[in-house]
Structure 1
């Protein structure tokens, strides 16, 4: 087939001046098919939009129709200018190239077929938040070869379509619902039931948080840590009605919870750290506050002994 195509181009090059009318006809045919492709793409997009309210497969189908018409126009051009052997060679190999476009273009053919599966399988739509491997972002466009997503830090990432087919794909917003959570640590002397009531009151005051029966915020005790009782707060948001970003909403909720708990006198302690000094006569490099009286650099006491009281100071 390669030899036949090469010989056809050589013969065409030797008498291209004599074939000027055929060249003009071929160019005209190519332009006609190009215009037909544009019209068909618009028609397909318009008709599909009436039945499928998802922009992603509609746009992909329109591009696929345009690609097919361009290929037909190119073959018609070759046939019109006297390169019928070349056209027949291309058509003879179409069955193979349609699948993998030859071994040299295996990745291109693979991504094209993957794009077809993604467009009509519809695991996501434009605007959905998806994650593939370590890449996470909102879908911007599905092209013939790749899928464009925008990450939270504003980067546009183009993922090969085959990558989305071969790897697990997580869609966080397919049904419009997404769950968030955060952790908060309470002092061991805290009334946990009262703290939970305060937190839930705050969550119910947030307009962007779902409050339907099966989507209400809830709290669980995650662990009894060394210094705190750790509570994890779960809440759902509707991404279709979001007026702000997930990160800003989570920050606003966490800030409101922290401020309300502090205002109610509930302590949020940090981790307790134990210092050990094995030189008994060496003074500790700290100051101790006992009943609002500062004891600077108290001596290190032996095991079983007590630190000096405020009355004994001086």
Structure 2
């Protein structure tokens, strides 16, 4: 019994000694592949970031190229060891493997493919403000599996790429400008005062340096509703949307406060100012 065990162990040892040089070479090939993948993907990423207007796609392609090179190195290492049958089986059974992997790792494969579509379709860029369902925030990163969004209250939300691709996505900053509006309700006694109030309101909105006045983004005011004693005036204005929080929240808030004070100084009674 012990002699049989010794003979088996000796056989395994001889086989290990026979294959150890190939294992060493395969290990060196794999290490070199990882080194080359890191260096080459870094060079590719640097050139893409220098020429591309959108760093989001450059980062995605950099990661994709890195893992593709590492995978190629792993296949080459298997060839060196002599695992021809396994490599050939992987190539020959690509269709079956894809079905099995796609079924077993459906979510991962779906998110990866969605990430590829998002990288090339580019519905958003880094630091764009987007809304997906009820989530609003800035895009921080697009990886092979998830899209990272940072909300205005500082939360980092990792959304699966498949969800981002499937759900309706609102991009508030892609155009560079965004239109906002608010409603002012005034009380007046003299006939025609609503037009004077409209002019005062429009002039005040135009006086703000963050409000765009060039065509086709000129601000305007409309009379939305009128009664014998009140008028509802809605002001529309455009602002640069790169900083969505400032352009949408802070600027609108400042205009609403200023309009109420300005109309009050001109003798109007401001009943309400709402979004």
Bin for the TM-score computed over the shorter chain: 0.7 to 0.9
* Pick aligned residue for 1:216 from 211, 215, 218: 218
Whole-angstrom CA distance in 2 between matches of 1:50 and 1:192: 54
Cα contact 2:126–2:140 (8 A) shared by 1: yes
Which segment drifts farther, 58-67 or 77-86? 77-86
Cα contact 2:198–2:221 (8 A) shared by 1: yes
Cα contact 2:129–2:244 (8 A) shared by 1: no
Cα contact 2:239–2:247 (8 A) shared by 1: no
Change (3 A) 1:227 1:154: farther
Change (3 A) 1:196 1:96: farther
Change (3 A) 1:214 1:144: same
SS of alignment partner, residue 53 of structure 1: coil
Whole-angstrom CA distance in 1 between matches of 2:113 and 2:60: 12
Whole-angstrom CA distance in 2 between matches of 1:13 and 1:57: 50
Give 1:49 deviation, angstroms.
3.3
Cα contact 2:180–2:236 (8 A) shared by 1: yes
Question: Normalising by structure 2, what TM-score?
Answer: 0.83
Whole-angstrom CA distance in 2 between matches of 1:20 and 1:194: 92
Change (3 A) 1:66 1:127: same
Superposed, 1:163-178 pairs within 5 Å as 163-178=163-178
Give 1:80 deviation, angstroms.
3.1
Question: Normalising by structure 1, what TM-score?
Answer: 0.73
Change (3 A) 1:171 1:96: farther
| Superimposed CA distance per residue, residues 269-310 of structure 1 (whole angstroms, 9 cap, x where no aligned partner) | 26xxxxxxxxxxxxxxxxxxxxxxxxxxxxxxxxxxxxxxxx
Whole-angstrom CA distance in 1 between matches of 2:235 and 2:78: 67
Q: What residue is the counterpart of 1:55 in the other structure?
A: 55
Give the aligned length: 259
Stretches of structure 1 that go unaligned for 5 or more consecutive residues are 1-11, 271-314
Q: What residue is the counterpart of 1:120 in the other structure?
A: 120
Give 1:147 deviation, angstroms.
1.0
Change (3 A) 1:16 1:129: farther
| Superimposed CA distance per residue, residues 97-120 of structure 1 (whole angstroms, 9 cap, x where no aligned partner) | 568832011121111111111111
Whole-angstrom CA distance in 2 between matches of 1:51 and 1:180: 34
Q: What residue is the counterpart of 1:279 in the other structure?
A: none
Whole-angstrom CA distance in 2 between matches of 1:232 and 1:40: 56
Stretches of structure 2 that go unaligned for 5 or more consecutive residues are 1-11
Cα contact 2:138–2:150 (8 A) shared by 1: yes
Superposed, 1:1-314 pairs within 5 Å as 19-95=19-95, 101-189=101-189, 191-224=193-226, 228-240=230-242, 244=246, 246-269=248-271
Please say which structure displays the higher CA radius of gyration.
Answer: 1
Whole-angstrom CA distance in 1 between matches of 2:253 and 2:20: 70
The structure showing larger relative contact order (alpha-carbon pairs under 8 Å, at least 6 residues apart) is: 2
Which segment drifts farther, 141-150 or 100-109? 100-109
Whole-angstrom CA distance in 1 between matches of 2:209 and 2:182: 18
Give the alignment's Cα RMSD to 1 decimal: 2.8
Whole-angstrom CA distance in 1 between matches of 2:87 and 2:171: 44
Whole-angstrom CA distance in 1 between matches of 2:247 and 2:18: 66
Structure having the larger proportion of residues in helix: 2
